[in-house]
C-alpha cells in the first residue's frame, strides 16, 4: 500500500485526494471507498489522537481500494513523526517548512540510522516484527514526505526546500499562505496566484510534484492547467455541511417552513 502511493507520486500523473478532519474511522473508510489516490488525515488543527489515527488507517485499508493514508502532522517533531510512521501509513505532510535546513531535519528524523535518526522499533509498519529487517532496510522507500509552504520565508526558500533529498513533494497551503500575503481567503488575488506559481516553479526545478487544497471544486481544472501535480479536492466537514444545507433548503422549499 505505502509503496504504491510513493510510486504514484513518482509517476508524474495527476493525483487526487480528500481531506478528513473528523477523527472517525467510519468517515475515513467512506472517504477511501471513492477513487482517491490518498486520504489526508489532519492532526494539526484537530483533536484526533494517534491511537485514532491508527484506527482510521486500518479503516482506509479495510475499504479495499488503492487509497493511501497521509497524515498531516501538527509540527516538524521527530518524536511524533516516528510514532506516525510506526503505524505504517503511506506518507506525512509537515506544516510550516520554511528553510532547507528544516527540510533536512525533517528527512533526517524519518530515516533510520545510519542515514538518519529515526528510532527503530518493531511496530505495525514492520508487521510487528515479522518483516523487521526488511522493513528497516527499505523503510524510506515506503512513504511519501510532503513539505508544506505556508509562509513568506517558506515561499522565498521553496526551491531550496524542494531540492532537499528525501522531500517527495511540496504543498502550497492556501489558508496560511494567503494570510501571510495579506489576502486571506482571496483565491483570485494576484499576490496569491503569483505565490502559487512560485511554489509550482520551485517543484518543477527540483522535479517534485506540487499540490494544494482546492477549496472551491470548480477551481480544480484551472489548478491542473496551472501546473499542480496533485490536489486535495474534497473535505469531510465541508461536504457534510453543504449537503445538510442543501437538503434543508430543498425541504424548506417543499414544506414552506
Instruction: Say yes or no: domain 2-255 is CATH 3.40.50.300.
Output: no
Give the model's pLDDT for residue 13.
97
Strand bridging mode 230-235 / 38-42: unpaired
pLDDT at 257: 79
3-state SS assignment for residue 92: strand
How many other C-beta atoms are found inside a 10 Å radius of the C-beta of residue 197? 13
The predicted-structure confidence for 1-27, as pLDDT tens digits, reads as follows 468 999 999 999 999 999 999 999 999
Give phi and psi for 188, each to the nearest 5. -105, 0
CB 56 within 8 A of CB 23: yes
DSSP H helices in the chain: 2-11, 25-32, 50-62, 78-87, 100-110, 132-138, 152-156, 158-162, 174-180, 190-206, 220-226, 236-255
Instruction: Return d(Cα 156, Cα 257) in angstroms, integer.
Output: 53
Give residue 190's pLDDT: 98
What was the pLDDT predicted at 256? 86
pTM above 0.85, yes or no: yes
Residues of the chain with pLDDT under 70: 1-2
Query: Would you give the distance in Å from CA 41 to the centre of its chain?
Result: 8
| Angle formed by the axes of helices 50-62 and 25-32, nearest 10° | 30
Given a contact cutoff of 8 angstroms between Cβ atoms, the answer to whether 49 and 27 are in contact is no
Residue bearing cell 533529498: 165
| In the chain, where the domains are located | 2-255
Task: Judge contact between 65 and 57, C-beta under 8 A.
Answer: no
Cα–Cα distance measured from residue 158 to residue 97, given in angstroms and rounded to the nearest whole number:
9
**pLDDT on residue 2:** 66
**Interatomic CA distance for residues 205 and 55, integer angstroms:** 38
The separation between the first and the last C-alpha atoms of the chain, rounded to the nearest angstrom, is 49
Residues catalogued as catalytic: 45
Half-sphere exposure of 241 (CA within 13 A, CB side): 7
Amino acid at each position: 500500500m505505502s509503496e504504491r502511493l510513493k510510486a504514484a507520486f513518482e509517476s508524474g500523473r495527476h493525483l487526487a485526494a480528500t481531506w478528513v478532519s473528523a477523527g472517525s474511522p467510519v468517515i475515513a473508510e467512506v472517504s477511501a471507498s471513492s477513487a482517491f489516490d490518498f486520504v489526508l488525515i489532519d492532526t494539526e488543527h484537530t483533536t484526533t489522537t494517534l491511537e485514532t489515527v491508527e484506527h482510521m488507517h486500518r479503516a482506509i485499508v479495510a475499504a479495499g481500494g488503492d487509497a493511501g493514508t497521509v497524515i498531516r502532522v501538527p509540527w516538524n517533531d521527530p518524536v511524533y513523526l516516528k510514532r506516525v510512521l510506526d503505524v505504517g501509513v503511506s506518507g506525512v505532510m509537515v506544516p510550516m517548512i520554511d528553510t532547507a535546513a528544516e527540510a533536512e531535519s525533517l528527512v533526517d528524523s524519518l530515516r533510520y540510522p545510519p542515514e538518519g535518526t529515526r528510532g527503530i522499533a518493531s511496530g505495525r509498519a514492520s508487521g510487528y516484527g515479522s518483516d523487521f529487517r526488511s522493513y528497516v532496510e527499505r523503510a524510506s522507500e515506503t512513504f511519501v514526505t510532503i513539505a508544506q509552504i505556508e509562509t513568506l520565508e517558506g515561499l522565498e526558500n521553496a526551491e531550496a526546500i524542494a531540492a532537499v533529498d528525501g522531500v517527495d513533494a511540496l504543498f502550497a497551503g492556501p489558508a496560511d499562505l494567503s494570510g501571510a500575503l495579506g489576502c486571506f481567503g482571496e483565491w483570485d488575488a494576484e499576490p496569491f496566484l503569483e505565490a502559487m506559481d512560485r511554489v509550482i516553479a520551485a517543484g518543477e526545478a527540483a522535479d517534485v510534484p506540487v499540490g494544494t487544497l482546492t477549496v472551491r471544486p470548480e477551481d480544480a481544472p484551472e489548478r491542473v492547467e496551472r501546473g499542480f501535480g496533485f490536489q486535495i479536492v474534497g473535505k469531510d466537514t465541508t461536504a457534510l455541511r453543504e449537503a445538510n444545507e442543501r437538503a434543508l433548503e430543498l425541504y424548506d422549499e417543499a414544506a414552506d417552513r
